[in-house]
């Protein structure tokens, strides 16, 4: 049974942290459902977007972080653009993904989390994203080595994929940005 | 000889879009008595009205049929048109070919046309037999009775009194103020209720045009618009208010404590008491039921201590008679008895499950806790407070079907008050909808949310005690899940009902009540402060659940109606009332009890037939001031002696003939 | 008129033809593009989903480099890069603390002098007579569904150059090129490109919906301004047909390609040969 008084007591810090990271006031949301109504990804989600906010409002950390919905959000910001209360749900979803990753709760968004990690690895190493490399890595590490191989071949013959990453001169500088950010955030 | 004109209205496409109006007019021209028949886009518009006036003059018409909408909408309009054309205004008859025909038969235009023609034929048949009518004049007593001394009654009384008319204000409790006097703050401005209510109480009590009766009830009301007579029973106070100075020694020293009605049971009062410190009048009454002297014959402490000798155990109730020309009912509301109905919320056995009105007393600085939020069971400050809305409202199984309208807003106010008075408190509000239709209301509700009230959409299913806490089991329908809250205090927003005793007032005023017991207005939109009984008006929550701003506005509206009525020395009554053909009346008086307005009574006439000696005979007499022309007497009369003017048997039979034969 | 040019990673790979056509069209219109030297990836969704600070810092390096180059506002063809740079610019401008923190991280300060503009905004803002004068091969009433996607117009507080619910800048350009923009309801729906790698089935459904609505609106082609959208809608079209049993064959091209075609530029210059679904106006 979901005990709201206990959740409110246990979840107070959680609500504060989400508000701080997202810059959004949770109480602004009055649960009209317009975010869900317009969300192009809602069809694929386990929780509706308004329910994700509801869970945060009630202080339910685990459920708000450990779900598919936050990882299926594509940050298209349709919700934020149309919210009658000016809640930037896209920013809230970002905050939840960041917190979920920091707490190791990526189980339900494993594929997306893996993609993000590989993508950022690519940027850290080369300074730019190497699309072919990212796709291959993702295939290998998610156990689907031949996924999208037709697509990749089509792109290659049209000169729309590069075999080799283009490494920028300031790659080390970019790597330092990653390191600096990590140092600052871990130090928080 | 009737010379009747028929005027067929298109009402834009309302009628014209379904039936062929020029065709109808052409067919109507062939009806008996009809000398001209025309159509027009909007007969009620200036060109339409002028068309009628010109036709009356040109064709020397003496009867008019308007085939258009319901007479409820425009009969009065066309009567005025006839008056402008120089005809008696009652020589117009309407055929309702809109509501009764084209609006409901749109898909079948041919059958609609046949029906419309039938309706016009009926109207023409009646029109041919219409007679000129004129109302009678009755005098007006230029005083007003206001029943109820809450905010509605106070406002109505003050507005009428300020308009220069005398007011008799009757309040059944020992003080003016009503429910509003019990409130702490008022939404959405959070100004204190006492600060805006008590000055009105004082103004009413000291107004030169207001005669105040408190601790008194209206026993009976007779008469009719402009000429009522009210019997007012002044209950015994056992304190001579002429002598009493309101010093307070008596209630200080009285040894008997009784749960205070004013504090909704959250605090005590004495057996000799004023309900609250700012009561008006600020002088006590003795509660005979609990007074030790009245129960045992001993005590007399108050009498012994009273410095002016005002306590009088021998005082008896008295009845006063007041003549008035108008009456305002402002009897207010009571709260639904939730404890009798909601077993799932504990049937009232948990002291920490209270009503919103009880909460008002808890947060009121002048209340039993001095404004500290303390729960009744142990006086502890509650850390988690749950509000439950719609208790008895919108509940067809256990309570009332309607929305009580004020709860959403006062619950938001209560939530804010808890958050303000108890730092760190948690507030949960269970709701089905949040209804905030008022100026500044939505913003106020949002403020409560912003300050931290957690609104949970769903009804509460059960409240039970588990150790020292109350467990509230509800649902969050937005998550689609059952939830529960551990609460220290639960506040129920209970339904607003007509005041206890409202039914008796409805009866004594001869007005109607709706299915929920609220006073029935004459028309929900166009005559919201009037009743079907002439001269009786409505103010405040006696008519429907209503908040303070709306109550004050409506009371002002009722006062304006009263002032309008009392501004004239005489009234012209509607001529469409019953009349008695005394020659036919057998004096059986069967019609008297069927009259809902008590407009009929026995009378005696003296008559002489041929050369026999004069003799006296009983016949029924109509009080045209009371009669509303409903026709019940007409139906009950076996000898056909009683008829409603404008609806005579001859006219009705002619209509039936035109319709059915 | 001269701009600093930020291509972004996609325009060097899957969106190669956007880069080609953007440069060709700008060249024809007399707009000088000076590429930011040694620019880095904007971080895209993976960055802002992982660390707000990282997302701002990656974009901030580009902004600072551009500003140092001093060649005016930054023009960005890619909708995603454009939005990330614009978000970073806005946040750095509004929060001096963040600006200072980011400057420490990147070792470069961005004072906010160089603005961030999308290429669509820049071309849409040109004198229409100037544009019309370049049109040598009008598109003869070709029906085009202009697809803006998410990031070009949202959030409006960041982008703001066009209406977020009914953007018209691309429609206007398409009309200038002699094509007929069709009114349709999916101008700004998300195509799910961000999930193309990680959650393909979700993406395919969104692509199918967009193609379907465009076709029902009578479109002969889709015109877009984002390499993620273009790649998603064009390269995955065959896959969509396989999965859903559909028979879409709608060319999906960049607005710069469409404009360039009307300007009489060659297929090769515009990268039209790189499309999966061939664009053959008038055939």
What domains lie within chain A, and their CATH numbers?
A: 4-105 (1.10.1060.10), 108-187 (no CATH)
C196 and C98 share one domain: no
C241 and C181 share one domain: yes
pLDDT over threshold 60, residue C216? yes
pLDDT by residue (tens digit) across C143-189?
Answer: 999 999 999 999 999 998 999 999 999 999 999 999 999 999 999 99
Interface of B with A in 436-475 (CB under 8 A): 446, 449-450, 452, 454-457
**Averaged confidence pLDDT in chain B:** 95
Q: What angle do CA C242, C243, C246 make, to 5 degrees?
A: 65
C contact chains, 3+ CB pairs < 8 A? A
| Helix runs in B256-388, H state only | 292-296, 301-305, 356-363
Give me the number of domains chain C comprises: 2
Which pLDDT value is given to residue B660?
Answer: 87
Residue of chain C whose Cα is closest to the Cα of A130? C9
Number of Cβ within a 10 Å radius of residue B566: 23
pLDDT band at C282, cuts 50/70/90?
A: low
Is there a domain that residue C125 lies in? no
Is there a domain that residue C129 lies in? no
Is there a domain that residue C128 lies in? no
DSSP label at residue B265:
T
3-state secondary structure of A111: helix
Is there a domain that residue C178 lies in? yes
The nearest CA of chain B is from the CA of A1 a distance in Å of 6
C114 and C154 share one domain: no
Residue C231: give its domain's CATH number: 3.40.50.11810
Which pLDDT value is given to residue B427?
Answer: 98
C114 and C212 share one domain: no
Is there a domain that residue C38 lies in? yes
Phi/psi class of residue B344: alpha, beta or left (left: φ > 0; alpha: ψ in -120 to 50)?
alpha
Is there a domain that residue C188 lies in? yes
pLDDT band at C283, cuts 50/70/90?
A: low
The residue-averaged pLDDT of B179-191 equals: 96
Whether the CB-CB separation of B41 and B48 falls below 8 Å is answered with: yes
B245–A contact, CB cutoff 8 A: no
Pairing of the two strands A2-3 and B481-487: parallel
| B630/B616 Cα distance (integer angstroms) | 29
pLDDT over threshold 80, residue A10? yes
H-helix or E-strand spanning residue B562: helix B548-566
C87 and C197 share one domain: no
The nearest CA of chain C is from the CA of A7 a distance in Å of 26
Of C70, C90, C120, at which residue does a domain stop? C120
Whether the CB-CB separation of B265 and B358 falls below 8 Å is answered with: yes
pLDDT by residue (tens digit) across A139-166?
Answer: 999 999 888 888 999 999 999 999 999 9
pLDDT over threshold 60, residue B515? yes
pLDDT by residue (tens digit) across C69-78?
Answer: 887 899 999 9
pLDDT over threshold 80, residue A188? no
pLDDT by residue (tens digit) across A38-55?
Answer: 999 999 999 999 999 999
Q: Please tell me which of the candidates B452, B457, B484 has its beta carbon nearest to residue A4.
A: B484
Residues 6+ apart with CB under 8 A from B370: none
Give the best residue of C197, C208, C253 to mutate against chain A (max A CB count within 10 A): C197
The residue-averaged pLDDT of B156-162 equals: 98
Residue B248 structure tokens: 């307070």
Is there a domain that residue C280 lies in? no
The residue-averaged pLDDT of C57-77 equals: 94
C35 and C66 share one domain: yes
Phi, psi for residue B491 in degrees, rounded to 5: -115, 125
DSSP label at residue C271:
T
Of C120, C151, C169, at which residue does a domain stop? C120
Q: Do chains C and A touch (3 or more CB pairs under 8 A)?
A: yes
Sign of CA dihedral C240, C246, C251, C254: negative
Q: How far is CA B653 from the centre of its chain?
A: 37
Of C120, C151, C184, at which residue does a domain stop? C120
B3–A contact, CB cutoff 8 A: no
A68–C contact, CB cutoff 8 A: no
Pairing of the two strands B454-457 and B469-476: unpaired
> Which residues in B lie closer than 8 A to residue A57 (C-beta atoms)?
454
**Residue numbers of the domain that contains C176:** 137-274
> Which residues in C lie closer than 8 A to residue A169 (C-beta atoms)?
38
C115 and C143 share one domain: no
Could you check whether the bond before residue A110 is cis, i.e. omega within 30 degrees of 0? no
Residue that the structure tokens 């929920």 belong to = B516
Which pLDDT value is given to residue C132?
Answer: 96
The residue-averaged pLDDT of C38-62 equals: 97
Residue C108: give its domain's CATH number: 1.20.1050.140
C27 and C54 share one domain: yes
Which pLDDT value is given to residue B492?
Answer: 98
Residue C239 structure tokens: 């896959």
Residue of chain B whose Cα is closest to the Cα of A33? B478
C141 and C192 share one domain: yes
| A178/A176 Cα distance (integer angstroms) | 5
C102 and C24 share one domain: yes
pLDDT band at B20, cuts 50/70/90?
A: very high
Domains, chain B, with CATH or none: 4-127 (3.40.50), 143-235+317-332+499-566 (3.50.50.60), 249-305 (no CATH), 334-497 (3.50.50.60), 578-645 (3.30.70.20)
The residue-averaged pLDDT of B559-566 equals: 98
Is there a domain that residue C132 lies in? no
| B52/B77 Cα distance (integer angstroms) | 12
Give the best residue of B458, B479, B487 to mutate against chain A (max A CB count within 10 A): B479
pLDDT over threshold 90, residue B395? yes
Share of chain A above pLDDT 90, in %: 94
C106 and C183 share one domain: no
Q: Do A90 and C198 touch (CB under 8 A)?
A: no
At CB < 8 A and 24+ separation, what contacts does B654-658 make? B654/B125, B654/B126, B654/B128, B654/B129, B655/B122, B655/B123, B655/B125, B655/B126, B657/B125, B658/B118, B658/B121, B658/B122, B658/B124, B658/B125, B658/B126
* Sequence-ordered strand ranges (E) for B10-83: 34-40, 63-68
C57 and C113 share one domain: yes
């Amino acid at each position: 049974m979901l005990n709201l008084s206990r959740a409110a007591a246990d979840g107070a810090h959680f609500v504060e942290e989400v508000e701080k990271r997202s810059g959004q006031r949770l109480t602004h949301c009055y649960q009209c459902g317009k975010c869900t109504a317009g969300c192009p990804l809602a069809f694929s989600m386990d929780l509706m977007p308004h329910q994700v906010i509801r869970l945060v409002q009630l202080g339910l950390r685990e459920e708000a972080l450990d779900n598919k919905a936050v990882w299926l959000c594509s940050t298209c910001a349709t919700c934020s653009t149309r919210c009658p209360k000016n809640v930037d749900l896209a920013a809230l979803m970002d905050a939840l993904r960041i917190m979920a990753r920091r707490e190791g709760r990526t189980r339900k968004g494993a594929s997306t989390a893996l993609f993000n990690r590989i993508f950022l690895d690519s940027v850290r190493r080369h300074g730019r994203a190497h699309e072919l490399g990212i796709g291959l890595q993702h295939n290998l590490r998610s156990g689907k080595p031949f996924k999208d191989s037709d697509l990749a071949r089509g792109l290659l013959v049209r000169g729309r994929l590069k075999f080799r990453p283009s490494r920028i001169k300031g790659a080390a500088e970019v790597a330092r940005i990653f390191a600096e950010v990590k140092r600052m955030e871990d130090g928080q | 000889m009737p010379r009747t004109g028929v005027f067929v209205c298109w009402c834009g496409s309302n009628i014209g879009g379904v039936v062929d109006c020029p065709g109808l007019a052409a067919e109507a021209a062939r009806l008996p008595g009809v000398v001209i028949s025309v159509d027009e886009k909007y007969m009620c518009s200036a060109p339409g009205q002028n068309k009628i006036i010109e036709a009356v003059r040109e064709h020397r018409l003496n009867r008019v049929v308007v085939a258009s909408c319901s007479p409820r909408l425009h009969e009065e309009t066309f009567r005025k048109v006839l008056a402008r054309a120089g005809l008696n205004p009652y020589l117009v008859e309407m055929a309702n070919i809109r509501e009764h025909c084209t609006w409901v038969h749109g898909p079948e235009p041919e059958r609609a046309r046949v029906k419309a023609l039938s309706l016009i034929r009926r109207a023409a048949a009646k029109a041919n037999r219409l007679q000129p009518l004129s109302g009678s004049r009755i005098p007006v007593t230029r005083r007003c009775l206001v029943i109820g001394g809450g905010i509605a009654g106070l406002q109505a009384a003050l507005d009428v009194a300020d308009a220069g008319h005398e007011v008799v204000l009757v309040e059944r409790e020992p003080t003016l103020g009503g429910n509003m006097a019990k409130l702490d703050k008022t939404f959405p401005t959070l100004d204190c209720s006492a600060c805006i209510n008590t000055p009105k109480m004082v103004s009413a009590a000291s107004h030169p045009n207001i005669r105040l009766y408190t601790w008194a009830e209206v026993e009976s009301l007779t008469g009719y618009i402009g000429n009522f007579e009210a019997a007012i029973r002044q209950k015994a106070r056992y304190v001579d208010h002429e002598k009493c100075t309101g010093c307070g020694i008596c209630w200080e020293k009285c040894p008997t404590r009784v749960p205070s009605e004013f504090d909704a049971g959250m605090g005590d009062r004495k057996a000799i008491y004023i309900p609250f410190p700012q009561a008006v009048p600020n002088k006590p009454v003795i509660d005979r039921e609990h007074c030790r002297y009245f129960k045992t014959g001993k005590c007399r402490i108050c009498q012994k201590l009273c410095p002016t000798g005002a306590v009088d155990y021998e005082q008896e109730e008295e009845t006063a008679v007041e003549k008035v020309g108008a009456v305002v009912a402002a009897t207010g509301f009571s709260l639904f008895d939730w404890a009798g109905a909601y077993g799932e919320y504990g049937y009232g056995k948990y002291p920490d499950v209270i009503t919103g009105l009880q909460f008002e007393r808890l947060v009121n600085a002048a209340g039993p806790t001095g404004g500290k939020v303390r729960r009744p069971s142990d006086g502890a400050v509650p850390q988690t407070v749950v509000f439950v809305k719609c208790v008895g409202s919108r509940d067809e199984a256990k309570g009332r079907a309607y929305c009580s309208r004020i709860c959403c807003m006062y619950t938001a106010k209560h939530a804010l008050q808890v958050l303000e008075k108890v730092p760190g408190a948690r507030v949960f509000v269970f709701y089905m909808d949040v209804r905030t239709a008022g100026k500044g209301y939505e913003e106020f509700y949002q403020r409560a949310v912003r300050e931290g009230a957690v609104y949970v959409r769903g009804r509460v299913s059960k409240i039970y005690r588990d150790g020292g806490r109350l467990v509230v089991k509800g649902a969050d329908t937005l998550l689609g899940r059952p939830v529960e809250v551990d609460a220290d205090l639960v506040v129920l927003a209970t339904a607003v009902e007509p005041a206890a005793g409202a039914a008796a007032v409805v009866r004594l005023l001869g007005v109607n009540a709706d299915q929920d017991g609220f006073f029935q207005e004459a028309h929900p939109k166009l005559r919201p402060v009037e009743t079907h009984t002439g001269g009786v008006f409505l103010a405040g929550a006696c008519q429907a659940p209503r908040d303070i701003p709306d109550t004050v506005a409506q009371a002002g509206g009722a006062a304006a109606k009263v002032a309008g009525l009392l501004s004239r020395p005489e009234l012209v009554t509607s001529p469409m009332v019953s009349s008695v053909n005394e020659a036919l009346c057998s004096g059986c008086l069967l019609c008297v009890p069927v009259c809902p307005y008590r407009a009929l009574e026995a009378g005696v006439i003296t008559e002489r037939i041929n050369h026999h000696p004069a003799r006296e005979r009983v016949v029924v007499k109509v009080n045209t001031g009371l009669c509303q022309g409903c026709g019940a007497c007409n139906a009950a009369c076996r000898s056909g002696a009683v008829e409603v003017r404008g609806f005579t048997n001859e006219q009705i039979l002619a209509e039936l003939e035109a319709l059915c034969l | 008129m001269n701009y600093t040019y930020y291509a972004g990673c996609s325009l060097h790979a899957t969106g190669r033809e956007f880069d080609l056509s953007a440069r060709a069209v700008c060249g024809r219109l007399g707009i000088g593009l000076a590429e930011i030297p040694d620019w880095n990836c904007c971080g895209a969704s993976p960055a802002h989903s992982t660390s707000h600070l990282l997302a701002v810092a990656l974009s901030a390096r580009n902004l600072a480099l551009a500003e140092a180059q001093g060649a005016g506002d930054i023009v960005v063809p890619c909708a995603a890069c454009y939005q990330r740079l614009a978000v970073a610019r806005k946040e750095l401008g509004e929060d001096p603390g963040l600006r200072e923190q980011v400057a420490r991280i990147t070792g470069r300060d961005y004072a906010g002098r160089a603005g961030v503009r999308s290429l669509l905004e820049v071309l849409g803002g040109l004198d229409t007579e100037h544009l019309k004068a370049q049109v040598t091969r009008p598109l003869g009433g070709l029906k085009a569904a202009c697809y803006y996607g998410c990031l070009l117009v949202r959030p409006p507080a960041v982008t703001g150059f066009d209406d977020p619910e009914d953007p018209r800048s691309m429609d206007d350009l398409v009309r200038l090129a002699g094509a007929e923009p069709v009114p349709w309801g999916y101008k700004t729906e998300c195509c799910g490109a961000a999930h193309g790698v990680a959650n393909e089935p979700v993406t395919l459904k969104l692509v199918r919906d967009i193609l379907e609505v465009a076709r029902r609106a009578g479109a002969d082609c889709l015109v877009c301004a984002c390499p993620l959208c273009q790649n998603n809608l064009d390269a995955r079209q065959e896959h969509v047909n396989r999965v859903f049993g559909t028979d879409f064959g709608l060319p999906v091209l960049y607005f710069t390609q469409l404009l360039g075609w009307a300007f009489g530029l060659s297929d090769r210059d515009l990268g039209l040969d790189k499309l999966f679904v061939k664009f053959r106006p008038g055939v």
